[in-house]
Amino acid sequence: MNAFDPDYYYRFLRFPGGLTKTVTFSYDDGVCSDLRLAALFNQHGLKGTFNLNSKKIGAPGHLDAEMIQQEILGKGHEVAIHGAMHRAMGKLSSSDAIREVLLCRLSLEEAFGQIIRGMAYADSGITQMIPGNSFEQIRSFLSSLGIAYARTLGTPQNTFELPEDFLCWMPTGHHDEPDLLKRIDRFLEIDTRKLYIGDRTPKLLYIWGHSFEFDRNNNWPHIEQICRQISGDPDVWYATNMEICEYVNDYNRLVVSADGRRIFNPTFRTIWLSTGEDAVTVHPGETILL
């Protein structure tokens, strides 16, 4: 009999490398100042997701497809759907909303030659609904359109947990929220190994905004400070929104025996998990015995 008894433990996801935390950024509207922000991320080894409106690519004040390809995608960042014309899902009829998402997805995939399934709700998103609309209905057609995650807004998220539902993914906070720096400190101070065993879930810090706000408010030093503060932490996986979403989805595909000891990885990715102190790996196609 193996000395390990799964009935005494929780089994929780660990990020690649066995890491307990992840940090991601989400910036909207595809404006020219995204280049400066992407360069800042590059300088600090951070990854971001840039949400684009397909009909505004190349418009005055906005990046063109070539710049996005070279300076955003070419540097390991992600581009995601923000609607063809930046309209609010909750305020459109289903057919208008479906067209808004699908047109954007088709254009971005055509422009950048890759599969694009991430999204950030534009405008008031799903926070306001016209009569007859509901999140359940929007969620349903986004799934049908192949959208893997969609960032929403509203209540700042203080617990640093991964989202329960990737189609209403609530960030930790906007970069200008007054207590954000304190929350970042709190996040960085978390030592998962010292937490109560049931709280040793993976932790996420997710910051969003618009890069034009740094020009408008003349506060580039603020985001520079955030990037410095967050970067270079050996416990943190720096990833795009989609890298996190896909990794979590693959973790959730692990097949586990009824006694909790045997774990099969049917995915194409090495998955890390922890049942206590140390993380273990399950390679693609492998079955491990805990």
CB of 51 to Zn ion, least distance (A): 7
CB of 130 to Zn ion, least distance (A): 19
Cβ burial, residue 259 (10 Å; 0-12/13-18/19+) = exposed
Q: Which is nearer to Zn ion, 28 or 246 (CB)?
A: 28
CB of 171 to Zn ion, least distance (A): 13
Closest of 174, 170, 177 to residue 208, by C-alpha: 174
How far apart CA 181 and CA 213 sit, in angstroms, is: 17
Q: Which is nearer to Zn ion, 22 or 107 (CB)?
A: 107
Q: Which is nearer to Zn ion, 111 or 122 (CB)?
A: 122
CB of 206 to Zn ion, least distance (A): 16
Q: Which is nearer to Zn ion, 29 or 246 (CB)?
A: 29
Q: Which is nearer to Zn ion, 122 or 205 (CB)?
A: 122
Residues contributing to the site for Zn ion (CB under 5 A): 28-29, 122
How far apart CA 64 and CA 58 sit, in angstroms, is: 4
CB of 120 to Zn ion, least distance (A): 7
CB of 124 to Zn ion, least distance (A): 10
Q: Which residue is at the shortest CB distance from Zn ion?
A: 28
Q: Which is nearer to Zn ion, 29 or 250 (CB)?
A: 29
> Around Cβ 274, how many Cβ atoms within 10 Å?
21
How far apart CA 175 and CA 1 sit, in angstroms, is: 52
- What are the angstrom distances between the C-alpha of 236 and each of 46, 56, 160? 10, 34, 13
CB of 210 to Zn ion, least distance (A): 7
Cβ burial, residue 157 (10 Å; 0-12/13-18/19+) = middle
Q: Which is nearer to Zn ion, 29 or 100 (CB)?
A: 29
**Strand 255-256 and strand 262-264: pairing?**
antiparallel
Length, in residues, of the chain: 290
CB 56 within 8 A of CB 107: no
